[in-house]
Amino acid sequence: MLENDIRLAVTAALNEDLGLTPAATQEGTPDVSRAEKLLQNDITAQLIPADKQVEAILITREEGVFCGKAWAEQVFNQLGGEVALHWLVDDGDLVLPNQMLCELSGPARDILTGERTAMNFIQTLSGVASLTKIYVDRIGDTQTKLLDTRKTLPGLRLAQKYAVTCGGGHNHRIGLFDAFLIKENHIMACGSIKQAVDTAREMHADKKVEVEVESIAELTQALETQADIVMLDNFDINMMLDAVNLNNEYKAKGGETKLEVSGNVTLETIADFAKTGIDFISVGALTKHVKALDLSLRIQK
3 state DSSP class of 190? helix
**Active site residue ranges:** 116, 151, 183, 212, 233
Rg (CA), the chain: 24
Q: Could you count the other beta carbons within 10 Å of the beta carbon of residue 57?
A: 16
Angle at 172 between CA 167 and CA 175, to 5 degrees: 120
Q: Which residues pair with 80 in a beta bridge?
A: none
Report the side by side order of strands in the sheet with 280-282. Answer: 145-147, 280-282, 258-262, 229-233, 209-213, 180-182
3 state DSSP class of 287? helix
Alpha-carbon dihedral angle through residues 181, 186, 190, 196, given to the nearest 10 degrees: 10
